[in-house]
Amino acid sequence: MSNVIELSAFASLGGTPCDGWHWLQRRSDGAMRLGFYNRLGGWRISDAIGQTSLMGRAAVARDYRLVAALPLPLSPADIDGDGA
């Protein structure tokens, strides 16, 4: 995939992903997992049944590839054109 980002290279440059939900691809078997990133709390990675576990940035960079960030949902104000 051309939009896959290697988190280890990204982190070594001092970059961090934006806060929010991201699709991650596990390196060992290619399984796709949802992960939530927060600069203060690190990563929460979902498993096959939807439970999440807290993981450090180094562990996520070692075990996963960042595939895509999920956009935040629109609020009713955004849909009506009244959003900020």
Q: Is residue 81 part of a domain?
A: no
Reading the block at residue 34, the tokens are 């949802």
pLDDT tens-place string over residues 56-82:
888 888 999 888 887 766 666 666 665
Residue 20 lies in a domain: yes
CA distance 76 to 21: 20
- Residue 19 inside a domain? The answer is yes
Residue 63: the pLDDT is: 92
Nearest to 21 by CA among 37, 39, 5, 42: 37
Q: Is residue 79 part of a domain?
A: no
Number of domains composing the chain = 1
pLDDT at position 9, please? 55
Q: Which residues pair with 37 in a beta bridge?
A: 20, 43
Distance CA 64, CA 27 (A): 5
What tens digit of pLDDT does each residue of 1-27 get? 455 656 655 555 556 788 888 999 999
Greater pLDDT, 73 or 53: 53
pLDDT number for residue 45 = 93
Quote the domain boundaries for residue 19: 7-72
Domain contains 12: yes
Q: Quote the tokens at residue 22.
A: 């991201």
